Structures are given as C-alpha cells and as structure tokens.
C-alpha cells in the first residue's frame, strides 16, 4: 500500500473540505432553481442533465475510487451541518435508529431506484426537484435535532448504499495500529481545538473505516500522534482484508439481484398479465411486482444460505453474511450498468448539447441521438454483468483458500458459482435476447 502524503496534507489543510462544500452548496440551489424554473421541454433542461447524467453516473465510480468522499462534500449534509450549527440540539440518535436505520436506508434506496426507473424521473424536472428537496429536508431535520451526521450515517439511501461499494475503494483512510493501541484520548472521535470530532461518529481505533469514512480529514487534523493516513491500495487486497458484513448489507446485495432482473423483465411480464387477464395495469402495479421480485430474491438467498449449512459447516447467519459480501462486485457492476452506462450512453449527448447551448454557442438543430444504440448498450451491460460475476467468484475462491481444505472449498465454490452463473446467464439472456 502506497502512502499518499500529498492527499494527507490536503486533508489537513484548514480550509478543506469547506472549499469544496461551498461551491457545491451554492450549485445545489442553482440546480434546484434550474430544475423548477428552467426550460421544461424534454431534453432541454440542463439541471436534469447535470443531475442524472453527470452526478448520478459518477457516483458508482466515485465510490470505488474514493469511497464515500461525496458524502463529505454533499450539499444536503452541508445544509444539515449549517442548521446544526445554528439550532443544533445534539440529541443522541435513538438506539433503534442505530440498529435498524440502515434497513430503512437500503429499502429507501431500492424504492427510489425503482420509482426513478418506472416514472422516468431522469426526464421529469418536477420529480427530480421533489426528490432533491425531500432529501435536503431530511438532512435538515437530522441536523436540527440529532448530533453529528445521523442522517448520513444511518439513513441516507445514497450514502449507506454507497458504503457497501466503498469496500472496494482504492484511496482509503487507514491507521497505525501501534499508535492507536496506545491512545487513551480518542481525539479523532472527541475532537480538539483544531477541528470537530469525526462527523460520522467513528473512532479510527475501533470502527470499520472502509464503509463509513467520508474523507473529511477531521481525524488527520485532530490526531496529535499522526496515526491516520491516506493510502492507495489495490481494490482486491483491500476488499479481502476486511471480510465483514452485516445482515442488512447482505439483504441489500441479494435483493438488488432480483431487482435488476425484474427491471429487465417487467415490461414483458406486465404485457403477459394484461393479455391473460384482459386488464390494464398501472405504474404502481409494476412497482409492486418489482418489489415482490426483490423480496423473492432475498428469500431465495436466505434459503440458499440455509441449505448449504452442511457444506460450509457454518450457521445460516454466517453463510448469509459471507456470500452476501461476495455479491458486492456483482451488484456493483449491475448498479454501474443501470446508472453510469445507461445514463452516459443514452443521455450523454443531451448533457453535451445543453452545456454547449448554455455557454451561448449555437448548434445545428438536429435531433439528439444516443451515443450507442440500444443493442450496443445491452452488449456493454452484458459484459459488465459477466465481469461482476467473474470477480465475485474469484474473490470468493481467493478468500476460501485461506481457511478451508480442498474438498470443502471446492464444494462451496461449486455451489456459489452455480448460483451466480445461473443469475448471470439469465441476466445476459434478458439483456441480449429479449
């Protein structure tokens, strides 16, 4: 692992992260204004292009490169922090929020994702504006009543779901264990005169930094012993160095598989239902069917982890967490397909046109074509799904090599591979042949 001293000194700089937060905070208000009062014609609103094609597509890539860096400079949290500074009550978040808040966040993420796809939120200025304002209001409620960043840590759908993919991060905060073991003051958590304590409530000695660190640099500013450091690491090594997963995260990854399949199937599925029953179905029926698929996938994975108990010789809970962890690369590529690949290839040119026009340059009035046709995009998405499933299997094999004997290991790998190959095969079939 290579230590990045340049980034460390940047994070120690007293103006960081405010220097990045301020323009984004102002930009957020401009974005809201443009969304609600800009050009409402389809494909002409620059706010929509910036929000969905630029910001939404960049998120998965940013999570893998920098972890939850976005959360450190996110304008919603800036609004929450501002209100916290003005009227903050600093109440400790209730225990049920700490225990079950992430379940809400994952469900919220899945619901937003499905609604976004079904209602084509990426082309609706009203829906996009309401979404942004709702999340901002939630962050402000958290800032006004609770201490630190309760919303970001336990409830934010994007941040908490991003935390799962942040386990693959390349730039990571790490610690010098020898120094931390001697520490008795916990300045990183408590804060000093230099800066406040960790806004996410993390103590670098004890907590999982991969999933929750937002790279705000407060621990670097506060630690008098220089224990925190920024390191560049291989995503594979870093990912496998900390095989630790909660039930909620596993439930999220497993239900996302069903969700992705349901999104590809839904139109044909509903057409069949309409033909069979001779009735018209609404968007909400589609929503319910997708959520049902998602729940079905979660239940199947739960049963899978129960059935393979004799093979792994571990409890059902352990299996659920363990295999859920190795679904992360697969689910990441699925998300990458549905957000980055989809938005950039289909709407990338719209962003280019809108930015050019807003800069005052005139362009020929030709219809805006997508960068790649639908078939080309499905081919690229198929490749992504394949890459994700190969990575998941390779990571699982690598991890199992450490602990188990050959026979037991081969059995587990065979079972996991069959599961994943079946899911991948079906997804590719849906993408390319339907």
Partner 1 sequence: MTSHHIILYSFLCVISIIVFSGYLVKMYRFKREKNRVTEPQEARAIDIELKGDIFELDKLSIILEDLVRYNVPVKTILDLNIVIEEVYTSIVNQQKEGQDNKNVLISLVLDPGQIRVSITDHNAEFNPIVMQKIDLNAPFEEISFHGLGFHLVRHLADDLNYQRMEDRNILTMKKTYAK
**What's the closest the beta carbon of residue 382 comes to partner 1, in angstroms?**
37
What does residue 165 show for φ and ψ, rounded to 5 degrees? -80, -15
Nearest CA-CA partner of 132 in 243, 214, 239, 56: 56
Q: Which of 16, 55, 26 is nearest to 194 (CA)?
A: 16
In this complex, which beta carbon is closest to partner 1, that of residue 207 or of residue 409? 207
Task: Name the residue nearer to partner 1 (CB basis): 315 or 375.
Answer: 315
Taking the complex as a whole, how short is the minimal distance between the CB of residue 92 and partner 1, in angstroms? Answer: 5
How many Cα atoms sit within 13 Å of 143 on the Cβ side? 19
85-99 b/e with 16+ CB inside 10 Å = b?
eeebeeeebeeebee
Task: Confirm if 270 and 293 have CB atoms less than 8 A apart.
Answer: no
Closest CB to partner 1 among residues 17, 129: 129
Choose between 198 and 214: whose C-beta lies nearer to partner 1.
198
Nearest residue (CB) to partner 1, 91 versus 363: 91
> How far apart are CB 130 and partner 1 at their closest, in Å?
6
Enumerate the β-bridge partners of residue 172: 231
Quick one: 160 or 262, whose CB is closer to partner 1? 160
CB of residue 100 vs partner 1: minimum separation in angstroms? Answer: 11
CB of 358 to partner 1, least distance (A): 19
Q: Taking the complex as a whole, how short is the minimal distance between the CB of residue 95 and partner 1, in angstroms?
A: 5
Instruction: Write out the residues near partner 1 by the rule CB under 8 A.
Output: 32, 36-37, 83, 86-89, 92, 95, 98-99, 125-126, 129-130, 133, 136-137, 140-141, 144-145, 184-186, 189-190, 203, 205-206, 246, 315, 317-318, 321
What the block records as the tokens of 328 is 């992360």
9 or 134: whose CB is closer to partner 1? 134
**Beta bridge mates, 174:** 229
Collect all residues with Cβ–Cβ distance below 8 Å to 342 and sequence separation of at least 6: 377, 381
Q: Round to whole Å and give the CA distance between 95 and 407.
A: 44
175 phi/psi in degrees, rounded to 5: -135, 160
Report the nearest approach of partner 1 to the CB of residue 199 (Å). Answer: 16
């Amino acid at each position: 692992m290579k230590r990045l001293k340049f980034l460390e000194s940047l994070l120690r700089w007293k103006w960081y992260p405010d220097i990045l937060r301020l323009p984004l905070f102002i930009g957020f208000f401009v974005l809201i204004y443009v969304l609600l009062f800009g050009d409402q014609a389809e494909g002409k609103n620059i706010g929509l292009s910036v929000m969905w094609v630029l910001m939404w597509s960049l998120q998965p890539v940013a999570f893998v490169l920098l972890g939850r860096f976005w959360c450190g400079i996110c304008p919603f949290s800036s609004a929450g922090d501002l209100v916290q500074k003005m009227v903050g009550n600093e109440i400790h978040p209730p225990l049920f929020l700490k225990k079950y808040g992430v379940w809400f966040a994952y469900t919220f993420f899945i619901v937003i994702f499905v609604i976004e796809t079904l209602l084509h939120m990426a082309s609706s200025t009203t829906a996009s504006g309401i979404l942004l304002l709702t999340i901002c209001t939630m962050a402000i409620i958290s800032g006004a009543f609770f201490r630190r960043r309760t919303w970001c840590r336990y409830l934010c759908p994007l941040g908490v779901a991003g935390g799962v993919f942040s386990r693959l991060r390349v730039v990571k905060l790490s610690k010098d264990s020898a120094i931390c073991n001697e520490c008795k003051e916990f300045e990183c958590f408590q804060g000093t005169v230099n800066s406040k304590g960790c806004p996410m409530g993390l103590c670098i000695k004890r907590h999982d930094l991969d999933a929750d660190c937002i790279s705000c640099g407060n621990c670097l500013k506060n630690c008098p012993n220089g224990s925190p450091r920024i390191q560049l690491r291989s995503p594979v090594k870093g990912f496998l160095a900390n095989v630790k997963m909660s039930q909620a995260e596993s439930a999220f990854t497993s239900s996302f598989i069903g969700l992705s399949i349901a999104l590809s199937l839904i139109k044909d599925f509903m057409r069949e239902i309409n033909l069979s029953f001779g009735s018209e179905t609404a968007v909400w029926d589609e929503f319910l069917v997708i959520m049902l698929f998602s729940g079905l996938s979660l239940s199947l994975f739960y049963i899978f982890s129960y059935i393979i108990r004799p093979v792994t010789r571990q409890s059902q809970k352990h299996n659920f967490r363990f295999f859920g962890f190795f679904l992360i690369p697969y689910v990441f590529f699925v998300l990458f397909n549905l957000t980055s690949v989809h938005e950039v290839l289909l709407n990338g040119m719209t962003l280019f046109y809108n930015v050019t026009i807003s800069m005052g340059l005139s362009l020929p009035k030709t219809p805006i074509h997508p960068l790649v046709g639908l078939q080309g995009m499905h081919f690229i998405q198929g490749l992504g799904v394949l890459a994700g499933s190969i990575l998941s299997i390779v990571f699982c094999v690598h991890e199992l090599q450490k602990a188990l004997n050959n026979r037991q290991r081969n059995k587990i790998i065979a079972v996991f591979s069959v599961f994943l190959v079946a899911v991948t095969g079906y997804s590719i079939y849906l993408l390319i042949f339907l």
